[in-house]
Amino acid sequence: MNDRKLTVKTVTLAYFSGTGGTKAIVSCFETQFVKSGIHVNVIDISCCNTYHEEKAPDLLIIFSPVYAFRLASIMEHWTKNLPKTQNTPAAVISVSGGGETSPNTACRVHCKRLLVKKGYQLIYEKMFVMPSNFASQAEYQLNLQLLNAIPQKVTQTVTEILSGKIYLTRPRVPDRFFAFIGKAEHFGAKIFGLSIRASKACTQCGLCERKCPAKNIRLQNGVPKFGSNCMWCLKCIYDCPHNALSPGVLKFSVLKDGYNITEMSDKAKTQCDAEYHPSGSMLWQGVIDYLRK
C-alpha cells in the first residue's frame, strides 16, 4: 500500500483510562497535534458514552488499556455504538504493561473489526507501554524509563500518522485465540468487583462512588457497595486516599504498594538512570524491546 500524506485539520482522541496511564499518553498526543496546528477534540468515554460530533473529524484515534489481551470492554462497547461513516481514517492505540508480545499482539483485533464495520478506514495501530498496574511490575528503573520515553514515542507516532504511513498488523492465530478467550475476563471482573469491601479505614468520603468509570459503586448509609458492573480497572482501589478498599477474591491482581502514575512520573524526572541495563528477565522482554525501538 502507498503511503500518502494525510490532510488533517481536526482529530478526535477518544480514550478510556482506569488508572491514568492511557490518559497520560493521550495528553501527550494532544500537545503534539496542537503543536502541528491541528484542532483536537479529546473524549473521555467514561464521562460521555455517546459520540455526538456533528461532523466527522479528519481522523479518529482510539486509545485503551489492554485487559486480558484485548481492549477494555467499555471501549469495545463505545466503538460498537459509533455512528456509520464513510472512509474516515482511524487509528487504534493500545496501552499495556507487558508490551507488544504474544498474545497482547491481538488485543486491537476486535476493535479494528468494529471500526471497519462502521465504515472507518484503518490506517495505523500501535502498542504503547506504561508501568503495569496489574499483579506485578517490571523493575523500577524500567518503569521510570517508560515514563520518560512518552514524548519521544508520541512525537514519532504523530509524525508517522501525519506523513500518511500505513501501519497495520496481522497477529498470529494463537494470539487471536487468546484475545478471543480474554473475553472471559469480563466475568472475572464482575466477581472481582462484587467482592470489594471497605475496611474501617474508610471515611465515607464518596470519592470511589464519584470516580468509578462503570458507575458500579453506591454509598449505602455512607458505606461503599459494589455492584456487578465492575470492569476491573482498579481505579477505586488505587485512588482511595485511605487505602480502605480491597477485593475478597483475585487478590493477586492488586499491586501491594499501590499505583500512582503522577507520583511515578515525578520520580521519573529526577531518579531515572538512563544508563541502567535491565537484568534480563524474560517476563518483561516486551517492555525492554519497546524501550529499545
Ligand X SMILES: Cc1cc2nc3c(=O)[nH]c(=O)nc-3n(C[C@H](O)[C@H](O)[C@H](O)COP(=O)(O)O)c2cc1C
- Minimum CB separation of residue 255 from ligand X in Å reads 10
Residues 191, 218, 47, 205: what is their CA dihedral angle, to the nearest 10 degrees? -120
What are the backbone angles phi and psi of residue 17, rounded to the nearest 5°? -145, 120
Query: Is residue 78 a contact residue for ligand X (CB under 6 A)?
Result: no
Do 100 and 286 form a contact (C-beta atoms < 8 A)? yes
61-69, 114-122, 155-163, 196-204 -> range binding ligand X (CB under 6 A): 61-69
What's the full length of the chain, in residues?
293
In the list 12, 73, 88, 96, the residue contacting ligand X (rule: CB under 6 A) is: 96
Interface with ligand X (CB under 6 A), residue total: 24
45-53, 64-72, 82-90, 201-209 -> range binding ligand X (CB under 6 A): 64-72
- Minimum CB separation of residue 2 from ligand X in Å reads 33
- Minimum CB separation of residue 125 from ligand X in Å reads 15
Query: Is residue 234 a contact residue for ligand X (CB under 6 A)?
Result: yes
128-136, 157-165, 208-216, 263-271 -> range binding ligand X (CB under 6 A): 128-136
Q: Scan residues 243-282 and list those touching ligand X (CB under 6 A).
A: none
Do 71 and 107 form a contact (C-beta atoms < 8 A)? yes
Distances (CA, A) of 258 to 43, 49, 121, 191, 238: 27, 28, 40, 21, 6
Q: Scan residues 13-32 and list those touching ligand X (CB under 6 A).
A: 17-23
Do 207 and 239 form a contact (C-beta atoms < 8 A)? yes
Distances (CA, A) of 164 to 124, 167, 276: 9, 9, 35
126: helix, strand or coil: strand
In the list 67, 124, 226, 290, the residue contacting ligand X (rule: CB under 6 A) is: 67
| Nearest alpha-carbon partner for 61 in 106, 104, 28 | 28
Query: Within 10 Å of residue 76's Cβ, how many Cβ atoms?
Result: 20
CA distance 2 to 46: 36
94-102, 145-153, 241-249, 267-275 -> range binding ligand X (CB under 6 A): 94-102
In the bound state with ligand X, the residue whose beta carbon lies nearer, of 18 and 171, is 18
Q: Scan residues 130-149 and list those touching ligand X (CB under 6 A).
A: 130, 132-134
Query: Is residue 232 a contact residue for ligand X (CB under 6 A)?
Result: yes
89-97, 152-160, 202-210, 268-276 -> range binding ligand X (CB under 6 A): 89-97
Rounded to a whole number of angstroms, the CA Rg of the chain reads 19
Question: Given the rule CB under 6 A, which residues bind ligand X?
Answer: 17-23, 65-69, 95-98, 104, 130, 132-134, 232-234
